[in-house]
Amino acid sequence: VLAALAVSLAPFSAGLGKGYSSPAIASLQGPGNATRRDFQLTDQQASWLASLSFLGALFGGMAGGAAMRHGRRRVLSLAAAPCSLSWLLTVLATSVRMMCITAFLGGFCCSILTMLSQVYISEISVPDIRGCLSAVLKIVGHLGVLFSFTIGAYLDWQQLALCISAAPLLLFCTVLYIPETPSYLVLIGKDDEAYKSLLWLRGPNSDVAQELATIRTNVLASKNFSQRQSQMSSSQLISSLDVRTMNRLLGPILVTCGLMMFQRFSGAHAFSFYAVPIFRKTFGGMNPHGAAIAVSFVQLLASCLSGLLIDTVGRLPLLIVSSVLMSMALAGFGSYAYYEEVHRNQRIQNVMFHQTVGQNDWIPLLCVLVFTIAFSLGMSPISWLLIGELFPLEYRAFGSAMATAFSYLCAFVGVKTFVDFQQALGLHGAFWLYASISVGGLCFVVCCVPETKGRDLDEMDPNYVQSLSPKR
């Protein structure tokens, strides 16, 4: 648990960055917050500033998968320092172009931190609490968003960036005191250090001999299997790929990438990166900054609840309920935005009606809160959890990198195109489109996603060696 809390500073740093865009864009576009060095942003420039962090995260995901072979703990510490540096450069930015470059660099580092922290948690935790510990990563990520939204309502974009730069430095210090994962240590032949790592993680009085033996047997079997595969010629390799082997790799790729696509195009990032502009257009009397803080706080509470439900209810039921509620909430929000747009001229002409507009703010706020709760309970934490659970050990580095990179590619496209969707379809049309995508996600979950509740990771499963044995 202590190791999980230390590593959770990685998603906390990423959450701070995720929550930075909305108040920073409001600060840069708001004339009341201008200072001598500030510059104004157009909507298209704001969309690039918000989305380029995900483009950097795309390349960070690929780099993180390659760097994972050098150790989970080591890469976490090496990525934390440049992440902090990117925020310090943001403080010194004098143009939109420079801010876009630092956003790209920050996204690159945060992608590595997020992926490595999830893999680290998956490899050190036992199955009974793995879902709960994984949810902790999402919780602290949402806590980071809430922190950015809250202090961003009072600080300008430079002061906010300076505060965010402290989190990666704190991560760098804490990972120096946690052990490397036992699975990785066994993989590189350091069994004695793996034994010490297990004792640190399970407690000094715990009997970890059986767990270490299981990890050693399965990791060595996985290594031998990978070596046999690498020594085969192309034709031999293709002929050896039976249905079982293909399912071990292709199945997890399709499931994790599919979930990531539906998660990223669900409209969640629109509420995160453009929260204040969206709320200004839909709320009649409510403070948009206050609404963004309230939604972020509810997201945090829902993430805490998800940590309790994931290992109790199961992954699949939560995904189904989450997708249904998300679709309904998005459709409702889009309908209210359409109603507001159609009756905008009537509100201008009718003063009495205009005075009562603020009384209906609870309708879009309720839709956003329902969506936020549903997204945080199921789609958001489980899609990341399944990356660590579905991929077998011999494909985990490759699979994690591919799923993470694809996720951030979808996020970049989703955040960048929101402004385009809004201009082409209207605010209501954009959210109706997101509702349709969420319905498609529900169908995908029902048809394709397996239940992994209580299932051992491959290297901790006593039957794992048999799964690698060739058919007789």
What DSSP letter does each residue of 43-72 carry, written as one string?
HHHHHHHHHHHHHHHHHHHHHHHHHGGG-H
Residue type, 180: E
Please, which residues have CB within 8 angstroms of residue 391's CB and are 6 or more apart in sequence? Answer: 249, 252, 256, 399, 400
Q: How far apart are CA 200 and CA 131, in angstroms?
A: 20
One-character DSSP codes across 236-282: HHHHH--HHHHHHHHHHHHHHHHHHHHHHTSSHHHHHHSHHHHHHHH
CA distance 449 to 320: 10
Structure tokens at 307: 């940590």
Q: Which two tokens stand for residue 183?
A: 């699975």
Each residue's pLDDT expressed in tens, for the chain with a length of 472 residues? 688 888 889 999 999 998 998 888 888 876 654 444 556 778 888 889 989 999 998 888 778 777 787 888 888 989 999 999 999 999 998 888 899 999 999 999 998 898 888 888 888 887 777 767 777 787 888 889 999 999 988 888 889 999 999 999 999 999 888 888 888 888 888 888 888 888 888 888 877 787 788 777 877 776 666 666 556 555 554 554 555 556 567 888 888 899 999 999 988 888 888 887 788 778 767 788 888 899 889 988 887 787 778 777 878 888 999 999 999 999 999 998 888 777 765 655 555 444 455 567 788 889 999 999 999 888 888 887 888 778 776 677 677 778 877 888 898 999 999 989 998 898 889 999 999 999 999 999 998 888 776 666 554 455 544 554 544 3
Distance CA 117, CA 4 (A): 8
Please give the Cα distance from 461 to 408 (Å, whole number).
Answer: 31
Considering only CA atoms, which of 392, 389, 16, 338 is closest in space to residue 170?
16
Give the Cβ contact number of residue 207 at 10 Å: 11
Q: How large is the C-alpha radius of gyration of the chain?
A: 23
- Enter the tokens of residue 389: 């659970």
Q: Measured in whole angstroms, how far is the alpha carbon of residue 301 from the centre of its chain?
A: 17
| Predicted local confidence at residue 354, as pLDDT | 47
CATH architecture of residue range(s) 248-346+357-471 = Up-down Bundle (1.20)
Local structure of 191: helix, strand or coil = helix
Domain boundaries, the chain: 1-178, 190-229, 248-346+357-471
Please give the Cα distance from 170 to 193 (Å, whole number): 25
Residue in the structure block whose two tokens are 């210090």: 173
Q: CA geometry: angle at 131 spanning 126 and 137, to 5°?
A: 110
Q: In angstroms, rounded to a whole number, what is the distance separating the alpha carbons of residues 402 and 256?
A: 9
Contact residues for 32 (Cβ-Cβ < 8 A; gap 6+): none
List the structure tokens of 38: 């500030």
Architecture of domain 1-178: Up-down Bundle (1.20)
Domains 1-178 and 248-346+357-471 share a fold: yes
- Per the listing, tokens 């995908």 go with 444
Q: Burial of 184 by CB count in 10 Å (0-12 exposed, 13-18 middle, 19+ buried)? A: buried
pLDDT of residue 223: 67
Q: Vertex 175, ends 172 and 179: CA angle to 5°?
A: 160
Residue 74, burial from CB neighbour count under 10 angstroms (0-12, 13-18, 19+): middle
